[in-house]
Structure 1
Amino acid sequence: MDTGQVVLIIVVAVVVIAAVIVAVMMGRRKKAEVNRLHAAELREKADEEAVGAHQAKAEAARAEADALQAEADAAKLRREAERHADSANEANQRVEEHLRDADKLDPAARPAPDSAHAAEGESLTRDRSGRDAGPTRDTERNA
Structure 2
Amino acid sequence: MYQNVLDLHSYWAFGVLGLLLIAAINALSGLGSKRAFTPRDRQISMVALIFSHIQLVVGIILVIVNPQLEIAKVAGMGGVMKDPHLRLIFVEHPLINIIAITLITIGWSKHKKTAEDAKKFKSIGYMYAIALVLLLSRIPWGQWFS
Which of the five TM-score ranges fits, normalised by the shorter chain? 0.3 to 0.5
Q: TM-score, normalised by structure 2?
A: 0.32
The structure with the larger Rg is 1
Q: TM-score, normalised by structure 1?
A: 0.33
